[in-house]
Chains A and B, each alone.
Chain A
């Protein structure tokens, strides 16, 4: 029963994250549109804030690049969340050791690779913005993220092997 409760909790949490992700996509898209259609207002605000210490147009280009990375991250997160929800559904149904779950885990691994690459790209842009003299939060490369990505690929392989063994065992009398 305890496992059942943890699965229910995970499902609700993932559903929450799913909608948070959608909200983030809307937010990034809104910022992007504002940077295009409200360019003059944004440029004026930034020019006043930094008082000519940096090139505002270049800063806006860098911000747009960050929004694009944010939107790509939303797509990657969507892949991870939907695959996890599908995997939890198979656990609830009582048959999780199936080939589609091995494939889903593999897809999550690739999504994490994408996530890490986006993180690197984001880091480059944040460093660039910092060197312009604008206020940015710091960025450090995530070694743990790459280790987790590798772990997911290994687990996906283990899962695939286990599923094949289970299939063999099912036909054994």
Chain B
């Protein structure tokens, strides 16, 4: 199992480039590139918050665990 970053898909859906995101969240292009290519070892809450705010998404939209079974949290679907 590995945590995958779906930044590329989110950017594509928002018609946004990595450079534009970099300017919007005030994080260097190099660091965002590291995140996008899955080479990051950790992500700060502040980074996560900034990206989610700009891309109007939830952390779960950005990060996913690949190969993990679907978690059953006991909540009923509406």
Is B39 part of the binding interface, using a Cβ–Cβ cutoff of 8 Å?
yes
Q: Which residues on the B side are within 8 Å of A173 (C-beta)?
A: 27, 31-32, 34-35, 40, 42-44, 47
Is A171 part of the binding interface, using a Cβ–Cβ cutoff of 8 Å?
yes
Is A168 part of the binding interface, using a Cβ–Cβ cutoff of 8 Å?
yes
User: Which residues in window 147-173 of A have CB below 8 A to B?
Assistant: 168, 170-173
For B51, the closest partner residue in chain A by CB is: A173
For B31, the closest partner residue in chain A by CB is: A173
Is B15 part of the binding interface, using a Cβ–Cβ cutoff of 8 Å?
no
Q: Which residues on the A side are within 8 Å of B44 (C-beta)?
A: 172-173
Q: Which residues on the B side are within 8 Å of A168 (C-beta)?
A: 41-42
Q: Which residues on the B side are within 8 Å of A170 (C-beta)?
A: 41
Q: How large is the interface on A (under 10, 10 to 19, 20 to 34, 35 or more residues)?
A: under 10
Q: Return A171 CB to nearest CB of chain B, in Å.
A: 3
Sample of 14 A–B contacts (CB below 8 Å)? A168-B41, A170-B41, A171-B39, A171-B40, A171-B41, A172-B40, A172-B42, A172-B44, A173-B31, A173-B34, A173-B40, A173-B42, A173-B43, A173-B44
Interface residues, chain A, CB within 8 Å of chain B?
168, 170-173
Interface centre among A168, A170, A171, A173 (most CB of B within 10 A): A173
Q: Which residues on the B side are within 8 Å of A171 (C-beta)?
A: 34, 39-42
Q: Return A149 CB to nearest CB of chain B, in Å.
A: 35
Docked pose: A172 CA to B39 CA in angstroms: 10
Q: Return B35 CB to nearest CB of chain A, in Å.
A: 5
Q: Which residues on the A side are within 8 Å of B39 (C-beta)?
A: 171
Docked pose: A171 CA to B43 CA in angstroms: 8
Docked pose: A172 CA to B44 CA in angstroms: 7
Docked pose: A171 CA to B34 CA in angstroms: 8
Mark contacts of B51-70 with chain A using CB atoms, 8 A cut-off: 1 yes-contact digit, 0 otherwise. Answer: 00000000000000000000
Docked pose: A172 CA to B42 CA in angstroms: 4
For B32, the closest partner residue in chain A by CB is: A173
Docked pose: A20 CA to B47 CA in angstroms: 54
Q: Which residues on the A side are within 8 Å of B43 (C-beta)?
A: 172-173
Q: Return B22 CB to nearest CB of chain A, in Å.
A: 12
